[in-house]
Amino acid sequence: MTTPAQVLPGQVLPVDVDEVPPVEVGPGVYARTLPGMPGIRTWVIDLAPGAEWPDLDVHETYGEAYFVVSGEIIEGDRTHGPGTYVAFGPKTSHRPRTETGARAFGFNYDVPA
């Protein structure tokens, strides 16, 4: 199944997330790109137990946010469990990792904040 980059005006597009082919970003880190709106890229990230984002994720101009669906994501000395929404503004960086494994839905904002 190929997932379009954007949902078109007037379009309703249900997507079974688990049918979207994952792309391995790093060892144990898998991303699925979902349809988004203009200026917003939407994705699901799955991290296997013990996985860490391969590089520092830097947000120079635009922001990013994610919602933890299952498991726990560790950012520095803070652990974010299911139901936690984490937002990063411009001029931020982070490198998420997990001990338990995790799934999060995320959004990259491609327009200045």
* CATH code of the domain in which 29 resides: 2.60.120.10
**Cβ–Cβ under 8 Å, residues 62 and 33:** no
Is residue 1 very low, low, confident or very high in pLDDT (cuts 50, 70, 90)? very low
Q: Domain residues for 78?
A: 19-109
The torsion angle over the Cα atoms of residues 70, 75, 79 and 83, rounded to 10 degrees, is: -40
Residue 1 maps to a domain: no
**Cβ–Cβ under 8 Å, residues 57 and 94:** yes
**pLDDT of 58:** 86
Residue 4 maps to a domain: no
Residue 14 maps to a domain: no
Residue 25 maps to a domain: yes
**pLDDT of 29:** 97
Answer yes or no: is pLDDT of 65 > 80. Answer: yes
Q: What is the mean pLDDT of residues 83-105?
A: 95
Residue 35 maps to a domain: yes
Instruction: Give Cα 98 to chain centroid, integer Å.
Output: 14
Answer yes or no: is pLDDT of 37 > 70. Answer: yes
Residue 66 maps to a domain: yes
Q: What is the mean pLDDT of residues 73-94?
A: 94
Residue 13 maps to a domain: no
Domain count, the chain: 1
Residue 70 maps to a domain: yes
What does pTM read for this prediction? 0.87
